[in-house]
Amino acid sequence: MRYLLQVDFPHNGPFGDELTAAMADLAKDIAHEKGLISKLWTENETEKEAGGIYLFETMEDATRYLQKHTERLESFGYSNIRGKLFVVNEALSALSIPAS
């Protein structure tokens, strides 16, 4: 099984290339998180939100990371951080992959 963590929070900027430059070191650090398979960084400038979609090997790793990341975001001054944990239905997900 794999486990998905969805995190989002209000974010007034930067976005796009400026966000990439500002968060490059953090992205490299996150890449070494225990049990992390992948992360997609998300941003919505219109709605003033940012966050990410994470795929973990275990629920324990995902839960631990949500706590760590929430504390880190709060230390950056963010609030109203929303985190949701899901079990990935891999059988249905495999059926949803477009044929090449």
In this predicted model, what pLDDT tens digit does every residue of 19-48 receive, in sequence order?
Answer: 999 999 999 999 999 999 999 999 999 999
Residue 31, pLDDT score: 95
Q: Encoding tokens for residue 72?
A: 């880190």
Give how many domains the chain has, as a whole number. Answer: 1
46: CATH: 3.30.70.100
> Is residue 67 included in any domain, yes or no?
yes
Q: Which domain holds residue 36?
A: 3-89
Backbone angles phi, psi at 88, to 5 degrees: -80, 125
Mark 65-99 as b/e (b = at least 16 C-beta within 10 Å).
bbeebbeebeeeeeeebebeeeeeeeeeeeeeeee
> In the chain, what percentage of residues exceed pLDDT 90?
94
Asked whether residue 12 is domain-assigned, the answer is yes
pLDDT the model gives residue 84 = 98
In tens, the pLDDT along 62-72 reads 999 999 999 99
Residue 100 is assigned to a structural domain of this protein: no
Q: What is the mean pLDDT of residues 85-94?
A: 95
57 within a domain of the structure (yes/no): yes
- The pLDDT assigned to 5 comes to 98
Please report which confidence band the pLDDT of residue 97 belongs to, taking 50, 70 and 90 as the band edges.
confident
66, part of any domain: yes
